[in-house]
Copies of this chain bind each other. A is one copy, B any other.
């Protein structure tokens, strides 16, 4: 039986597009839509599926808060991949509907927010209605007797539900994108690729002006660049914060490993979330800028030097 993967559905979501990006070889029947982020996590934890894909950041589908809450507080899973999907919206309707017929438009609230300019210009008189996802909007519009004339959704969602595009690129920002992550049960990490990310949650030991700088310095002194940083209430109460951090590099690298040990020492707790390739398709990315003297070879050289001076060989 092939591996099975859960994702935040329904069919036609951007998350499904990310899943195709991350697991291109999985057959259709191996991709299981779930109705919430929590359900995806649970399906992976229980072993019902072998992996799962959920949105992490800037999603137009909602779900980011839910994803981060599960990563921080839920039973631990590992992030084993990530990808970014361009967010392009189109206006879809049932075949036979013309643009001038559109009186009621359905979409997700975030999508609506991102398409306001286009709507004000081209459909100034249309009513807008929000539903739980852009894919759900497309699905609803496709149903006979639907209360909406058109959906703002992704092209693949419109096509999936047999709709016809009335307009493409109706979003006000042409280069929006959403990041998605692939989850696995604890086990061997993906091999380093040279363009990896490492994710973790740092629980600050006490609340003082320099606590966060102290954590960031643990990365900075080892030349590790951060790509995402977000403070979050720990769930205990407002005012107790943890920091969700994405850093460049793989925990198998000396610089990242040493930085994580430093954070482990100065923090109340650290949750390691995984090291994984920066994209499902790593070949289309420039290698990240790497500060000098941060390669494993640099660390190994310094270690040999330390062994020499510890034995008193200074000449």
Contact = CB atoms under 8 A, between A and B. Distances in A.
B272 A309 contact: yes
Contacts of A236: 173, 175
B228 A241 contact: yes
Given A238-B84, A309-B260, A310-B189, A109 B36 contact: yes
Contacts of A112: 36, 38
Contacts of A302: 261-262, 264-265
A251 B310 contact: yes
A98 interface: no
B217 A299 contact: no
Contacts of A59: 65
Contacts of A57: 233, 238
Number of copies: 4
A188 to B, nearest CB: 5
Contact of A312 (B78, B209, B266, B309): B78
A302 B57 CA distance: 30
A216 B243 CA distance: 14
Given A209-B291, A260-B306, A303-B261, A110 B66 contact: yes
Contacts of A169: none
A220 B210 contact: yes
B113 A69 contact: yes
Contacts of A225: 207-209
A265 B299 contact: yes
Contacts of A220: 209-210, 213, 217
Given A209-B225, A272-B309, 16 more contacts: A38-B109, A57-B233, A62-B65, A69-B113, A175-B237, A176-B235, A177-B238, A186-B312, A209-B220, A209-B224, A209-B226, A212-B226, A218-B221, A222-B262, A229-B231, A230-B230
13 contacts: A36-B112, A37-B109, A38-B113, A69-B110, A177-B233, A186-B313, A186-B315, A208-B289, A209-B220, A209-B226, A212-B216, A260-B306, A272-B309
